[in-house]
Amino acid sequence: MNAADEFYIGWSGRTPAGYARWSRLAASVLIVSALVGGLTLLGAQRDPGPGTWDPNATVTLVGRVRADPGPILLIDAVEGDGRVPARAALLVSTGKFGAAGRVANMTGDPVRVRGTLINRGGFVVIELVDGAEAVTAASSAGNPEWPVEDLGIRTVRGEIVDPKCYSGAMKPGEGKVHRACAVRCLSGGITPVLVGRDESGLVGGFVLAGPRGEAINQRVLEFVADPIVVAGRVERHGGPDGVLVMRIDPAAIRRQ
Amino acid sequence: MSASYTGIGWNRQKRIYDAVMIASIVIFLGAFYGLGRVLFRPPHDATDETLLIRGLGSCAIIMLHIVLWIGPLARLQPRLAPLLYNRRHLGVGTFVLGLCHAAFATVQFHGFGNVNPLVSLLTSNTQYGSLARFPFEVLGLAALLILFLMAATSHDFWNRNLTPRFWKSLHMCVYGAYALLVAHVSLGTLQQERSPLILATVGVSVAVTIGLHLAGARREARTDRGSEPAAGDSGPWIDAGPAADLPMDRARIVCARGGERIAVFRHAGGVSAVSNVCRHQGGPLGEGKIVDGCVTCPWHGWQYRPGDGCSPPPFKERVETYRVRIVAGRVRVNPTALAPGTPVEPAVIEEGARV
């Protein structure tokens, strides 16, 4: 049979030589393309960020908590061998839920907190373990003060994220692809954080609250993951290694 | 061909086909995940979930491209017909990968929250009025539903019971799914990653898809322009060229202006004309060959007798037939289709005609 007479019938179980050659070529191209394509598309991905989280490494911390302007723990001591790279941490629950309700009646009290550390460049979030053992009364705390430094009115440009995913629970945990997840997290009570910088170069995660420290989760949902600019009063809670809090009117948020 | 339905009529061709397909998927995902682990080291590592979601989604849309490219490639290079033979397995594989991508993404981004993950999928972002903030997830979901319908009806049982025409129309929705997925990627990953390489990959892939289909369509357009009415004939007969130039056991495809394509075959008994459209999946019978005395479709090997358009027993498929005659050495075809399975006496080529 000459090449022109060749004809392929799949069910016949025979592949004419000309068809076989092209099939082998196609299979080779496919397999090489799979290798090159996988490597190339991965190589084009953006750095997922420096967040870390070991969900199996539970730590116990002693300090004091406040429920507003967000569930914040000022850390006085770490029990055991653990180490925390900041003086203050935001508290969240497992899943996509906040923790404000779990510390609402303990404002200013010395507490013992059990959870796992989520850390991105010193911005620390603690995911509380489930159950009542997550936050218990402590007999004493080293420092009864709750230092707050007023940094004045600042204009910050950046992106509203949910701090749990952004800090390392999900990598990457920012941007449009993550928008729906962040909306779910904020809807579940996780305190919104504005990641960005102000006009003076102050960079970081600004815990967002209303002018009186009230939660504004529902009012910022439509701006999540968008590049925004907003002005508000900025405070630093817990000293130099503490956490930045920004009190804003959500109506003043503008997309860039 | 098969006279009865089985899950999959396995044969050596299908086993090799699927082995290459699965090997390619494993190599792609392995390369994607493996390099992800090597390139992104702690603390800049990506989570396993992220690598899986992105790897599975990328693999699924690449496979959909291959599914779409095979059709015109096999038209432009008939030796690639084996790629087309088992294309349905590629389509089902595409759906399975897309489903895994969607399942992981839904659990990851919408699970463990204060509403049902599927409700969250539809309600977390409703900013349909903005391209920049458009909920791209919904586009992927719509594409997945189309791919599901196609995968679920891919078996010949559904081809027969939905009727080949409806089945073909349903499966042409793959182009809708493709458009939705390109939009899904463009309004999702492309807005976040902003890598020129990913942008170029998507752009080139779409361009190749369009280019291949245009090339295939251009080739068919030559046939569809329509053959001239046969000179000196009072009826609707059209000219199908010199009988002597028709290669033995092969066909010439002709078409009356605005009419259906007709495959004019030369075989041992003379010249016969049948519809160019295979009853199975609409394959081009005129690009097939006479094998064992039957017109054989180049896509999946379905067969019809040239004299009456009927599949040989025990099969029951039938295609339209056309009256043919030879006048002054030229084949003439009456473009009025006869009912499927109507016997038509082949036109006899006079002795001495070149083969």
Over the stretch B202-240, which tens digit does the pLDDT of each residue have? Answer: 999 999 999 999 999 998 887 677 666 776 666 789 999
Could you say which DSSP state residue A226 is in?
S
- Least confident stretch, B7-11, B64-68, B86-90, B201-205: B7-11
Q: Residue B48: phi, psi to the nearest 5?
A: -55, -40
User: What residues does B274 pair with on adjacent strands?
Assistant: B263, B321
Question: Does residue B355 carry a pLDDT above 50?
Answer: no
Q: B92-117 pLDDT, tens per residue?
A: 999 999 999 999 999 999 999 999 99
More confident residue, B63 or B258: B63
Report which of B69, B64, B58 is spatially closest to residue B27, judged by C-alpha positions: B58
- Least confident stretch, A74-88, A114-128, A185-199, B162-176: A74-88
Q: Tell me the count of A-B CB pairs closer than 8 A.
A: 195
Most B-contacting residue of A24, A36, A42, A46 (CB-CB within 10 A), to test interface: A42
β-strands A88-92, A123-128: how paired? Answer: parallel
pLDDT of residue B269: 83
pLDDT of residue A1: 59
> Please, which residues have CB within 8 angstroms of residue B155's CB and are 6 or more apart in sequence?
B5
Task: Test B125 with A172 for CB contact under 8 angstroms.
Answer: no
Question: Does residue A143 carry a pLDDT above 90?
Answer: no
| Confidence class for position A142, pLDDT limits 50, 70, 90 | low
Nearest to A37 among B23, B62, B133 (CB): B62
Task: Test A38 with B109 for CB contact under 8 angstroms.
Answer: no
Within the 5-34 window of chain A, which residues sit less than 8 Å (CB to CB) from chain B? 5-13, 15, 18-19, 21-23, 26-27, 30-31, 33-34
> How many whole angstroms separate alpha carbon A66 and alpha carbon A100?
8
Q: A231-240 pLDDT, tens per residue?
A: 999 999 999 9
Mean pLDDT on A37-50: 95
Extract long-range pairs of B38-41: CB within 8 Å, 24+ residues apart: B39/A42, B39/A43, B40/A45, B40/A47, B40/A48
Q: CB A145: neighbour CB atoms within 10 A?
A: 9
Which residues in B lie closer than 8 A to residue A10 (C-beta atoms)?
A: 11, 13-14, 82, 85-86, 300-301
Question: Does residue A193 carry a pLDDT above 60?
Answer: yes
Give the H or E element holding residue B57.
Answer: helix B48-76
- Least confident stretch, A187-196, A210-219, B2-11, B42-51: B2-11
Question: Does residue A51 carry a pLDDT above 70?
Answer: yes
Residue A39 forms contact with B (CB below 8 Å): yes
Task: Test A35 with B31 for CB contact under 8 angstroms.
Answer: yes
pLDDT of residue B26: 98
Q: B22-75 pLDDT, tens per residue?
A: 999 999 999 999 999 999 999 999 999 999 999 999 999 999 999 999 999 998
Q: B145-177 pLDDT, tens per residue?
A: 999 999 999 998 999 899 988 999 999 999 999
pLDDT of residue B179: 98
Question: Does residue B321 carry a pLDDT above 80?
Answer: yes
Task: Test A95 with B50 for CB contact under 8 angstroms.
Answer: no
Six token digits for residue B163: 């009727």
Residue A136 forms contact with B (CB below 8 Å): no
Task: Test A38 with B27 for CB contact under 8 angstroms.
Answer: yes
| Confidence class for position A5, pLDDT limits 50, 70, 90 | confident
Q: Residue A148: phi, psi to the nearest 5?
A: -130, 120
Residue B15 forms contact with A (CB below 8 Å): no
pLDDT of residue A141: 54
Q: Residue A52: phi, psi to the nearest 5?
A: -135, 145
Mean pLDDT on B274-283: 94
Of the CA atoms within 13 Å of residue B258, those in its CB half-sphere come to: 1
pLDDT of residue B233: 65
Question: Does residue B2 carry a pLDDT above 60?
Answer: no
| Confidence class for position A83, pLDDT limits 50, 70, 90 | confident
Average pLDDT score over chain B = 92
> How many whole angstroms separate alpha carbon B354 and alpha carbon A231?
89
Mean pLDDT on A175-201: 96
Give the H or E element holding residue B73.
Answer: helix B48-76
Q: Is the ipTM of this complex over 0.85?
A: yes
pLDDT of residue B136: 97
Six token digits for residue A244: 């930045």
- Cβ atoms of residues B183 and B136 within 8 Å: yes
Mean pLDDT on B11-22: 94
Q: Which residue of A has its CA nearest to B250?
A: A5
Task: Test A45 with B36 for CB contact under 8 angstroms.
Answer: yes
Question: Does residue B1 carry a pLDDT above 70?
Answer: no
Q: Which three-class secondary structure state does DSSP give residue A117? A: strand
Q: How many residues does chain B have?
A: 355
- Cβ atoms of residues A65 and A71 within 8 Å: yes
For chain A, domains (ranges, CATH) are 7-41 (no CATH), 52-137 (2.40.50), 148-255 (2.40.50)
pLDDT > 70 in chain B, percent: 94
Which residues in B lie closer than 8 A to residue A34 (C-beta atoms)?
A: 23-25, 27-28, 31
Question: Does residue A47 carry a pLDDT above 90?
Answer: yes
> Please, which residues have CB within 8 angstroms of residue A148's CB and are 6 or more apart in sequence?
A235, A236, A237
Q: Distance from B115 to chain A by nearest Cα, in Å?
A: 8
Q: Distance from B184 to chain A by nearest Cα, in Å?
A: 11
pLDDT > 90 in chain A, percent: 86
Task: Test B50 with A171 for CB contact under 8 angstroms.
Answer: yes
Six token digits for residue A16: 């004419």
Report which of B95, B3, B84 is spatially closest to residue B281, judged by C-alpha positions: B84
Task: Test A23 with B9 for CB contact under 8 angstroms.
Answer: no
| Confidence class for position B259, pLDDT limits 50, 70, 90 | confident
Six token digits for residue A118: 């989520």
- Cβ atoms of residues A135 and A113 within 8 Å: yes
Q: Which three-class secondary structure state does DSSP give residue A50? A: coil
Task: Test A7 with B113 for CB contact under 8 angstroms.
Answer: no
Which residues in A lie closer than 8 A to residue B23 (C-beta atoms)?
A: 31, 34
Task: Test B79 with A175 for CB contact under 8 angstroms.
Answer: no
Q: Distance from B167 to chain A by nearest Cα, in Å?
A: 21
Residue B140 forms contact with A (CB below 8 Å): no
- Cβ atoms of residues A235 and A150 within 8 Å: yes
Mean pLDDT on A28-40: 97
Phi-psi region of B328 (alpha: psi -120 to 50; beta: other; left: phi over 0): left
| Confidence class for position A82, pLDDT limits 50, 70, 90 | confident
Question: Does residue B10 carry a pLDDT above 90?
Answer: no
Q: Distance from A199 to chain B by nearest Cα, in Å?
A: 25
Q: Distance from A49 to chain B by nearest Cα, in Å?
A: 5
Q: Distance from B218 to chain A by nearest Cα, in Å?
A: 23
Measured CA to CA in angstroms, residue B345 lies from A110, B243, B272, B273, B324 at distances of 101, 16, 8, 10, 8
Q: Distance from A250 to chain B by nearest Cα, in Å?
A: 18
Nearest to A31 among B24, B51, B291 (CB): B24
The structure's pTM equals 0.92
> How many whole angstroms separate alpha carbon B32 and alpha carbon B234?
67
Six token digits for residue B65: 């491209």
Q: Distance from B94 to chain A by nearest Cα, in Å?
A: 14
Mean pLDDT on A130-148: 85
pLDDT > 70 in chain A, percent: 97
Which residues in A lie closer than 8 A to residue B139 (C-beta atoms)?
A: none
Mean pLDDT on B240-247: 93
- Cβ atoms of residues A89 and A180 within 8 Å: no
Query: Quick one: CA torsion of A128, A132, A138, A141, rounded to 10 degrees?
Result: 20
More confident residue, B88 or A1: B88
* Helix runs in B263-349, H state only: none
Six token digits for residue A207: 């815990």
